[in-house]
Amino acid sequence: MFSMRLKATPSLCFVLALISCVGLLADAIYANEQPSGVEVGSLLCEYKVKPIGMDELYPRLSWQLKTTRRAVSQSAYQVRVGARKEDLIQHRNLLWDSGKVKSDQSVNVVYTGPDLLSGKRYYWQVRVWDDEDQASDWSQLEFWEMGLLEPSDWKASWIIPNLDEDTSRPQAAPMLRTEFEIPEEVGSARLYITSLGLYEVEVNGRTVGDQIFTPGWTSYRNRLQYQTYEVQDLLRKGRNAVGIVLGDGWYRGFIGFKGQRNYYGDKLALLFQLDIAMKDGSSLLVLSNDTWTSSHGPILMSDIYMGESYDARLEQPGWSEPGFDDESWSGVRQQDFSKDHLIAPVGPPVRRQEEIKPVEILKTPAGKTVYDLGQNMVGWVRIQVHGEAGDVITLRHAEVLDQQGNLYTENLRSARQEVQYTLKGGEEEVYEPHFSFQGFRYVMVDGLRSQPALDHITGIVIHSEMAKTGRFKCSDPLLNQLQHNILWGQKGNFLDVPTDCPQRDERLGWTGDAQVFARTAAFNMDVASFFTKWLGDLAADQLEDGRIPHVVPNVIDGFASAAWADAGVIIPWTLYLTYGDERILQRQYRSMKAWVDHVTRAAGEDDLWNSGFHFGDWLAYNTTRSDYPGATTDKDLIATSFFAYSTDLIRRTALVLGKSEDAEYYSKLLVRIKRAFNDEFVTPNGRLSSNTQTAYVLALNFGLFPEAMRSIAADRLAQDVRAFDNHLTTGFVGTPYLCHVLSRFEHLETAYALLNQKSYPSWLYPVTKGATTIWERWDGIKPDGSFQDAGMNSFNHYAYGAIGDWMYRVVAGVEIDPEQPGYKNVLIQPSPGGGLDWVEASLQTLYGEVSSKWSFAKDRFRLAVGIPANAQATVRLPGAQLEDVSVDGKSPAESVGIHSVSQTRNAVLVAIGSGNYEFSYPAPTSAQLE
Ligand code: BGC
């Protein structure tokens, strides 16, 4: 093909083709081989597909190798970046060409080309060489686009509506509008927008984008996100209009459990900048300024906790279209609010994710109509109704019904979760609320002339848009329901911020809850950028002296509780392990260190952290039973344990970041804390001063006992579990590690006994009571059907869902090798037991899918393992004898991709390269499995 073209008559087109062919030839010579059978795909920039409006100056690029061959790894890569697609295709005018870089890194490769510029789009592609130095083809083109990088890029002014308001209570949502002329055909257009309060934006009568709850919730005084939208398709040559509605949101609506409003300020404001590039090369900026107009409209009030009241008779048709008569509208005022703290979003946007249809219509004893959605969910109800103008429909939302079958709303405390819609009459009306969300399974509908059909009510499920990465299934339907509940706890509570609960007057970013659940969350969904964003707020709201707030963003001004504030260290470390993300450690290092240094000062000379306020082992088992003492763990023991743990994590972080002096300092500190812990809380025979499961779990999990005492302590823990008829007694703090500690110290069956336990307190007890999410309390609904204390009884609280982590890591056995984090080297170490016949788990990692599926069939144990290219694994075959093991029906020695095989006391270890393998051997007895 190349020589044919050489003979052709030159023309511009030919010259271009020639240049590109020369480029390709040069590439081929450079690569020195034929394509390798490896393709490169799934390109991500900063964990996102084609992100726009970024402000990361050194974006990181990731890709995956796709191949059907086994044991494939990358030996080199080449990335190139250009300003235009054609430049990459023709291999010219490149902005950056990494050249062939000898490296097996395919995740988070840092762009180190020329400085990136505001508003510019960058196209990129990559190719790789495999372990035999065979080059792949170039990947498809992807791009990222920068947002506004400097405050001075913002030409728009902050504006506030000039409307009368009484901000001591929820207000009608203001609408703002403007019109403008576009003189030429539109080429491309970007809208950069943010607000104080929430916004919804329309251009020429059409909603822009599908993000909701924008601009999101951050530490508003330090960081305010703006969004970027591509809007050329909504604009046209000639007259255009835009309209924006503002909602109170987190900014000035109710926030926290003390009835507080206007926490960040009492004025809603808008910053709007529309940058239009015309096809003729000219450009136009449309900016928020004092020429805009404002009015109230149909949203009479909309509050996150309280709900919404909407009067459709007050709609102003055409308000966001050109030609609308806004004579009667008020003006706006320009304000001098800061633009210095504007940031591009790092995390995923919140969007509508699923729709749920009710499963049943119920009548309460009081004769009310209630729709059961069959799932405790978060979002709202869309209704389709017919009626007369002025008819008022009221929707009340609840998670559960009481014993009589009435809506149970006491646990909402002061949050009303009530939506009122006043009909305009005539045609069918379809309505969804705007700046409010509800946590509910049941919705009571009042005020209709006739009952709507089941399909006229739809549950709209909303959450931050995170790819679903994990899947766990097994032979026990109750455990599958538990996994379902864990996942729904995550869906319901990852709404821009990781919240404790979605229904009562909290919905706050409780640090402790997030810390407890982070690792489980990272199995179920891709939470890399979600937590990265939140950690930015954590650092922003951290006090100068290192204290970390109880909730982030901070709205309640409480700080520094053990296990809560430690989120500032534990979550960055979790992201590092899960995604191999070193940058999060670099960026959070100051915050992590400030926290540990604060605790070091608080602990003082004796290295015991026994001062300050702590939540302790929140909601641990409490009893009046005379034969069991309950499970209150000494708060000083908990605090000192977490002091040791965070010190250990920052020590490891310092090692990763090459900060050897810090690493040494924290190693020494850790030795001292352990010594202090042992002197204060451990008897010479290895007994702890608090005889609770949580105390033993923490001391064992954080490695606080001297080596020789560990198995004795673990036996004592297992003994405590058995003495309580295989029930747990742990609260928020001990629960995540309980089964881990038992299985690690040879009490796997006791751990399974806890997992399988169906009576209170246990994970499956709520499942037997029909739970569809994780409850805040082990006994949210008591065995006699009555409720726990309404003051603290959420039915959608993910903390106890932390058992999900054990199900993935131990039951299915998908584990991270901390030496090669991010699943570069996967440890597949299933733990059959607990009466399960089979388990299947998979996880989309940054390398591709990892899977572990085990089963007992016909006296044999089978383990199917899938490892993505450019990753590898160490597989542990429990209870196996080397001579009995077959791989895909052959001996390991005959199998491609097996690097090594070895026998340990009670298992066979196999090191494998990427690919799919099925191991099989005679089913081990339970004794062989311990
Ligand atoms: C929240 C929690 C939180 C706790 C502090 C509660 O009100 O719902 O989950 O961690 O307070 O202990």
Q: Which atom of ligand 1 is nearest to the CA of 776?
A: 9
Q: How far apart (Å, rounded) are the C-alpha atoms in residues 722 and 710?
A: 18
Tens-digit pLDDT profile for residues 110-158: 999 999 999 999 999 999 999 999 999 999 999 999 999 999 999 999 9
Q: Which atom of ligand 1 is nearest to the CA of 618?
A: 12
Is the Cβ atom of 798 under 6 angstroms away from ligand 1? no
Is the Cβ atom of 46 under 6 angstroms away from ligand 1? no
Ligand 1 mean position to 794 CA, how many Å? 10
Please tell me the predicted confidence (pLDDT) of residue 248: 97
Determine the distance from the C-alpha atom of residue 246 to the mean position of all C-alpha atoms in its chain, rounded to a whole number: 26
Contact assessment for residue 837 and residue 894, using Cβ atoms and an 8 Å cutoff: no
Residue 8's pLDDT band (boundaries 50, 70, 90)?
Answer: very low
Closest Cα partner for 338 from 226, 501, 468?
Answer: 226
How many CB atoms sit inside 10 A of residue 822's CB?
A: 24
Residue 623's pLDDT band (boundaries 50, 70, 90)?
Answer: confident
Lowest model confidence (mean pLDDT) among 6-20, 71-85, 569-583, 619-633: 6-20
- In 304-357, the DSSP E strands lie at 307-311, 332-335, 342-343, 350-356
* Three-state secondary structure of 448-471: CCCCCCHHHEEEEEEEECCCECEE
Residue 624's pLDDT band (boundaries 50, 70, 90)?
Answer: confident
Tens-digit pLDDT profile for residues 889-918: 999 989 999 999 999 999 999 999 999 999
Lowest model confidence (mean pLDDT) among 517-521, 620-624, 806-810: 620-624
Listing DSSP states for 839-861 in one string gives EEEEEEETTEEEEEEEEEETTEE
Residue 240's pLDDT band (boundaries 50, 70, 90)?
Answer: very high
Respond yes or no: is residue 776 known to be catalytic: yes
Ligand 1 mean position to 30 CA, how many Å? 59
CA distances to 303, 356, 383, 452, 894 from 458, in Å? 21, 6, 7, 11, 56
Q: Report the DSSP beta bridge partners of residue 66.
A: 39
Tallying the residues shown for the chain, one arrives at: 930
Residue 844 has pLDDT above 80, yes or no: yes
Please choose from 500, 515, 638 the residue to mutate so as to test ligand 1's pocket, defined by most ligand atoms within 8 A of CB.
Answer: 500
Output 924-930 pairs: Cβ under 8 A, ≥24 positions apart: 924/832, 924/861, 924/878, 924/879, 924/880, 925/879, 926/749, 926/833, 928/878, 928/879, 929/748, 929/831, 929/832, 929/833, 929/878, 929/879, 930/746, 930/748, 930/749, 930/906
% of residues, the chain, pLDDT over 70: 96
Residue nearest to atom 5 of ligand 1 (CA): 615
874-894 average pLDDT score: 95
Is the Cβ atom of 733 under 6 angstroms away from ligand 1? no
CA geometry: angle at 468 spanning 462 and 473, to 5°? Answer: 115
Is the Cβ atom of 512 under 6 angstroms away from ligand 1? yes
Task: Name the token pair of 181.
Answer: 């002329």
Ligand 1 mean position to 809 CA, how many Å? 27
Mean pLDDT, rounded, of the chain: 94
Residue 453's pLDDT band (boundaries 50, 70, 90)?
Answer: confident
Is the Cβ atom of 615 under 6 angstroms away from ligand 1? yes
Contact assessment for residue 817 and residue 874, using Cβ atoms and an 8 Å cutoff: yes
Q: How far apart (Å, rounded) are the C-alpha atoms in residues 622 and 408?
A: 24
- Omega before 761 cis (within 30°)? yes
The alpha helices in 456-527, defined as continuous H runs, are 477-493, 511-524
366-386 average pLDDT score: 96
Tens-digit pLDDT profile for residues 555-607: 999 999 999 999 999 999 999 999 999 999 999 999 999 999 999 999 999 99
Contact assessment for residue 50 and residue 142, using Cβ atoms and an 8 Å cutoff: yes
Determine the distance from the C-alpha atom of residue 651 to the mean position of all C-alpha atoms in its chain, rounded to a whole number: 26
Please tell me the predicted confidence (pLDDT) of residue 23: 41
Q: How far apart (Å, rounded) are the C-alpha atoms in residues 189 and 234?
A: 9
Please tell me the predicted confidence (pLDDT) of residue 897: 96
Residue nearest to atom 1 of ligand 1 (CA): 500
Listing DSSP states for 342-405 in one string gives EE---SPPEEEEEEE--SEEEE-TTS-EEEEEEEEEEEEEEEEE---TT-EEEEEEESEE-TTS
CA distances to 71, 280, 829, 872, 878 from 911, in Å? 11, 61, 12, 8, 14
CA geometry: angle at 540 spanning 539 and 545, to 5°? Answer: 70
Please tell me the predicted confidence (pLDDT) of residue 841: 98
Catalytic pick from 506, 582, 749, 815?
506
Task: Name the token pair of 205.
Answer: 């009568």
Please tell me the predicted confidence (pLDDT) of residue 91: 87
Task: Name the token pair of 856.
Answer: 């007992």
What is residue 101's three-state secondary structure? strand
Contact assessment for residue 61 and residue 109, using Cβ atoms and an 8 Å cutoff: yes
Q: Which residue has the tokens 């190719």?
A: 127
Is the Cβ atom of 510 under 6 angstroms away from ligand 1? yes
Catalytic pick from 142, 179, 202, 776?
776
Q: Would you report the helix, strand and coil content of the chain in percent, each value rounded to 5?
A: 25, 30, 45
Is the Cβ atom of 618 under 6 angstroms away from ligand 1? yes
Please tell me the predicted confidence (pLDDT) of residue 622: 84
How many CB atoms sit inside 10 A of residue 281's CB?
A: 8
Contact assessment for residue 640 and residue 680, using Cβ atoms and an 8 Å cutoff: yes
Entry pTM = 0.95
Residue nearest to atom 12 of ligand 1 (CA): 615
Please tell me the predicted confidence (pLDDT) of residue 35: 56
Respond yes or no: is residue 506 known to be catalytic: yes
How many CB atoms sit inside 10 A of residue 21's CB?
A: 16
CA geometry: angle at 409 spanning 407 and 411, to 5°? Answer: 140
Residue 1 has pLDDT above 60, yes or no: no
